[in-house]
Amino acid sequence: MRKVILVEDNRELSSSIQHFLSLKGYTVSTAPTKKDMLRLMDNDFFPVAIVDKKLPDGNPLEIFLNGNNETKIVVITGFPDPNEALTWLKKGVEYYLVKPFSLEELYIILERIFQKIEDERRKLILASQDPPFYIGSSTASQKLMEEIKTIANFDVPVLITGETGSGKEVAAKMIHDMSCRKDGPFLVVNCTAIPENLIESELFGYQKGAFTGAHQNKQGIFELANGGTLVLDEIGDLPLHLQPKFLHVIENNYIQRLGDTKKRRIDVRIIALTNKDLSSLKKSETFREDLFFRLSVVHIRVPSLRERMEDIPGLIEYFFQEFNKRYHRYVNMGKNLIETLKNYYWPGNIRELKNFIERYVIYNGKTSLPSQDSNQIPDINIPLLSIDEMKKILVKRTLELTNWDKRKSAEILNISLSSLKRYIKKFNLSKDSSN
């Protein structure tokens, strides 16, 4: 939808322009005064404004150029002044039209401006061989890209590590898209999303009668991914008793459904994702050493957003284009917004940035900006303790703060519910002992 606000106190001219542009497919809102203009702008965003600089209650141009530089301006005036025109054009006005002008001329100008807006939305340029998402120009991003290109066609397991929200799944999709498996399935399984008592049947499938409720044969996720790539997210939370079976599948390339004696050959590339330190889990015997070594034939670390701050302007532009297109908006980013976002810590990484831009576009920029103050990590005075002792203190304090709401505690600690339950059992914690 091509929306325009027409700020003109001459009602006859205003009505004529509105009628003409409506026939051309435009939606035109009219404002005879600066007060009416502000009222309309409070409730809606207009990509383009046609503005008479001389209104009964003052000149409205400064409001646009100082407070809303996302709107493209066409000045119309019956009192032309070449020096003034040059000043306004330098300040960002798109066109300076002198009355009387033809409606067709105005229409041509608007078409050019909206084409410019569309071009700006599509401005992100990616090489044709690269995947359809933003990579980044920082040293850290380019190094990541080179690693992905290098290993994509080597059909071996890959371990991708990085903080939550840093883009591990995107990196996995890039590997798949650049590999010889690109035409095959690409399946992502979150190891914490499937209940522990169902994960084996979901991954390996089952035969009719294998257990109560198994009324028909069912393919597992490994079979469904045959010929493609299977991404195992949160691999660090894979139950210990299932890890030997995973290792067997990776090493022998076949699976056995529950309740079946037949071995089924599979051809699947495994990419494992985690935000945990598997080496530490290996030492604490919650993750098998042999599975760790088999998964990490190739290890790629995705940098946090804090390590690639130079990419923030490009990511902002990319997400603005994505969400403007999705929600049919024309919200643009300003320099002040970019500077504010560049100075934020981004603990949630790219996912947090993406969610913020989506919210910003939905609300036409009327949303609170992230504050560095909201992201301060409190100092915790802890004496020299072992890792297990510190984990126990952290788990216990979190449970107490949430009144033993395990699901909420797991969210705060950024671990799965099953992992939290294992810690509670391991550290012999109970609600009564906390009081």
**Residue 169 falls inside a structural domain:** yes
pLDDT score recorded for residue 15: 94
Contact 65, 72 (CB under 8 A): no
Last residue of a domain, one of 121, 141, 171: 121
Contacts within 8 Å (CB) and 24+ apart, 321-328:
321/121, 321/122, 321/123, 321/124, 323/357, 323/358, 323/361, 323/362, 324/121, 324/361, 325/121, 327/361, 327/362, 328/1
For residue 36, how far is the Cα from the chain centroid? 37
As for how many domains the chain has, the answer is 4
For residue 337, the enclosing domain spans 308-374
As a whole number of angstroms, the distance between CA 46 and CA 28 comes to 9
User: pTM for the full model?
Assistant: 0.57
Residues in the chain, total: 435
Which distant-in-sequence residues (6+ apart) come within 8 Å of 140 by Cβ?
303, 307, 308
Domain check: are 106 and 223 in the same one?
no
Q: How many whole angstroms separate alpha carbon 302 and alpha carbon 253?
A: 28
Residues 262 and 336 in one domain: no
Instruction: Output the pLDDT for position 162.
Output: 92
Query: Domain check: are 395 and 342 in the same one?
Result: no
Nearest to 152 by CA among 125, 133, 130: 130
Whether 232 contacts 191, CB under 8 Å: yes
Which pLDDT belongs to residue 83? 84
Q: Residue 225's domain is classified under what CATH number?
A: 3.40.50.300
Both tokens assigned to 238:
């894979």
The list of the chain residues with pLDDT below 50 reads 67-68, 122-132, 373-384, 435
Let me know if 303 is exposed, middle or buried by CB neighbors in 10 A (0-12, 13-18, 19+).
Answer: buried
CATH classification of the domain holding 341: 1.10.8.60
pLDDT in tens, 2-13: 889 999 999 999
Torsions phi, psi for 74 (to 5 deg): -115, 115
Contact call for residues 288 and 244 (beta carbons, < 8 A): yes
CA distance between the termini of the chain: 61
Alpha-carbon distance of 168 to 351, in angstroms, equals 11
